[in-house]
A and B are shown apart, each in its own frame.
Chain A
Amino acid sequence: MNILKLSAAALVASVAFAGAAAARDQIQVAGSSTVLPYAKIVAETFGETFPNFKTPVVESGGSGAGLKEFCKGVGEATIDIANASRPINKSELEACKAAGVTDVQEVRIGYDGIVFAAASSNGDMKIEPKDLYKALAAEVVVDGKLVANPYKNWSDVNATLPKGPIAAYIPGSKHGTREVFEEKIMTEGCKESGAAEVIKAAITDAKQAAAKCVAIRKDGAAVDIDGDYTETLARISANKTGLGVFGLAFYENNMDKLKVATVKDVVPSTETISSGKYPVSRPLFFYVKKAHLGVIPGLKEYVEFFISDAMVGPDSPLAEYGLVAAPDAEREAVRKAFAAGKTM
């Protein structure tokens, strides 16, 4: 009987304990796995620089999952910041407002380049969006007609590309990176190769026509990667003619294993991305609940610390890791907007 009594007491105690510990003294962040490494660096440095605040807890799980958690409501049981590798969309913002999260502050932290790379044993590669479109689309235009993608080798698409069979490892649809890939490569390539016009002639509905442009072939040549870049790297190490999609930061940490491709003859680097020359890049964000500022200790300081030049400037730890710093004027504007309390 003693065991029973003990367990009942433990159960009661643990619940009562939970009720007593109401005030949260640790910032909680969730969201994009692309922003995660940056948020971790900032959180860690924040904890070291401000010994009176605890190091924030940063969860990963994807932009969508993070924003969903973020929009659950206001209060100590909900997270304070959502990291996102894409802007919050309308339906998410509406869901937020419906749950009582009315004042959301958007903070843009910088840019992330998306690079295409193969195993380091490959020669130089030059990629044009239209080549990638032809290699990876579900249906392509041959002799003025839409047919199922007939291309087997990279060299079938463009003679300057390597001879091996087409294999591409692209981020799965739960990743924010996929959207950028579809927008900057597939849609762009669809237009450049002239397929867009053929599709427009065949399908009148604009939405369906746009979806046709970004449809990826499903015969095994293009593989969706739902995991992280480490999985893509493992796939590429196994398949030497395969092309993988990586974030710039990941590539910079694994340069000895990867050979990067130029897009439109531009080599991806911090300089080409910040100047806008390299075409495949995207801004990174985080979203803050205004109602939590001043309630959760250290939240305001954390955001201010994150957007300070010491963290996101051109010569900062985040830039060192691979973040492309926004231009000076933009960083200043972000700081001003946050200080002014501008909400969405």
Chain B
Amino acid sequence: MSQVVTPSATPAAARPRVRRDIGIKRRYAAERRFRAYGIAAILFGLVFLFMLLTSVVSKGYTAFQQTMITVPIEFSEQVIDPNKERATNPQKLLTANYPVLARNAVAKVLGVAENDRTKMREVGQMLSDSVRAQLRDLVVANPSIIGTTQSVRLLAAGDLDSAFKGQIDLDVTESNRKISDQQVGWMKQMAEAGTLAKHFNTGIFVNGASSRPEAAGVGVALIGSFYMMLIVLVLALPIGVAASIYLEEFAPKNRFTDLIEVNINNLAAVPSIVYGLLGLAVFINFMGLPRSASLIGGLVLTLMTLPTIIIATRAALKAVPPSIRAAALGLGASKMQTIFHHVLPLAMPGILTGTIIGLAHALGETAPLLLIGMVAFVANYPTTPLDPSTALPVQIYMWANEAERAFVERTSGAIIILLLFLIAMNVGAILLRRRFERRW
């Protein structure tokens, strides 16, 4: 361009300067203002994002550590199986009084006499009720430890955990909190001796739901969410891509296809609870599929994600230049071959991005799951998609409604886990796009 301008540029300098008001100052000012608005808008968004993240992280990071008490436990035969019936009666080992073993062990460390019943009760309250299952599993897995003394790491009760993390105000009068001065004293004593300490909390990732905050985890919810995402991916991606290819490449353009297009765009904006109602009516009441199963959740979320995937896929197909189709057809490829050999591979990054965004949306959805019975307390791992399970956002919602203080940090902890998954999925979308993207 510059070469064309140069010859005429010299005489222009010779011409008398005419000052025309072309509003250059005004236009520059307008541009500066617009930039300032843009920056303000971004800052506004960032401030809220920052507030959300600080509130979640500052409340939730403590959930990844759990207070535990490590004590030598004497697996006394007197307590577990006083009449030596375990060889004949296998139930004996399952129903033995295991909490007593843990309580006695802690009492011994604290120097509390076993006949002081009120104090023993307070000692017992410092331990989680889940020690029963923990010790039972140890003994059932290896009955030979009966009669020996083993060092075992026991879960502290939720209230003790909250107090140790400083989440319970210990300055209020003793009667107004769930932990007594005596227990606080013991807590400090054990912390100094190193018996009581915070450890990394693997339980929050692997445990199922529990009414005891210290033993509650998102394990079942993670599996449920995984099954649902798998079902959404396996069903929504092929159906959505097939529908869009047909609509974009084969379908005639007439009123009927216009109507379909309007409907798909509308469906993408329908509140998700409507899909829940549909799922309840069709999958549970009509087809008789089991309640609370992740299969139904997956099917409902598939319906919800389909419009998003179809819209994204159609946009990606449209973005492939017509010259590619024309070239393929010109070389003798059939329409089918043109689409599957040339158009679809080029549209793939766009399709995958749309799918991952749709999946991320589905991962964070709770409302439709409420109606199909997935907002529930589920403690057992689901082995198939037909077993009852929950989902990550549901677990967050349920923990947010709990009364115990220790669930506050777990709610934020679960939000952090969910956010990490969403970040991973979105990073995946960006990487896929980078890898497959072509520019013309």
Contacts and interface: CB of A to CB of B under 8 A. Distances in A.
B290 A48 contact: no
Nearest to B401: A228
B51 interface: no
Contact of B210 (A6, A10, A44, A250): A44
Interface in A43-59: 43-45, 47-49, 51, 54-55, 57-59
Nearest to A45: B129
A60 B386 contact: no
Given A6-B238, A7-B234, A18 B375 contact: no
Given A30-B373, A44-B379, A256-B169, A77 B95 contact: no
A3 B403 CA distance: 48
Interface of B: 94-95, 129, 132-133, 168-169, 172, 175-178, 208-212, 231, 234-235, 237-239, 241-242, 284-285, 287-292, 295, 340, 370, 373, 375-380, 384-388, 398, 400-405
B178 A7 contact: no
A180 B39 CA distance: 53
Interface of A: 1, 3-4, 6-7, 10-11, 14-15, 17-18, 21, 24, 26, 28, 30, 33, 36-37, 39-41, 43-45, 47-49, 51, 54-55, 57-61, 72, 76-77, 79, 120, 227-230, 249-250, 252-256, 317
B377 A58 contact: yes
Nearest to A77: B288
10 contacts: A6-B234, A7-B234, A7-B238, A17-B384, A26-B387, A30-B376, A48-B133, A55-B208, A59-B292, A256-B168
Given A57-B388, A77-B288, A3 B377 contact: no
A226 B239 CA distance: 39
A79 B291 contact: yes
Nearest to B387: A26
B401 A33 contact: yes
A79 B132 CA distance: 30
B377 A48 contact: no
Nearest to B210: A44
B273 to A, nearest CB: 13
Nearest to A247: B403
B59 to A, nearest CB: 13
B284 A49 contact: no
Contacts of B168: 256
A253 B239 contact: no
A10 B356 CA distance: 20
The B interface, classified by DSSP as helix, strand, loop or mixed, is loop
B95 A49 contact: yes
A7 to B, nearest CB: 4
Contacts of B212: 44
B379 A317 contact: no
Contacts of A33: 401
A230 B238 contact: no
Contacts of B401: 33, 60, 227-230
Closest 3 CB pairs of A and B: A7-B238, A55-B379, A58-B377
A3 B375 contact: no
Given A60-B398, A254-B403, A256-B176, A24 B290 contact: yes
A143 to B, nearest CB: 43
Contacts of A250: 403
B306 to A, nearest CB: 12
A11 B175 CA distance: 59
Contact of B290 (A7, A18, A120, A317): A18
A37 B403 contact: yes
Contact of B238 (A3, A21, A41, A255): A3
B103 to A, nearest CB: 15
B284 A28 contact: no
A17 B133 contact: no
B380 A47 contact: yes
A99 to B, nearest CB: 12
A36 B377 contact: yes
Given A59-B292, A77-B290, A253-B178, A40 B403 contact: no
Contacts of B169: 256
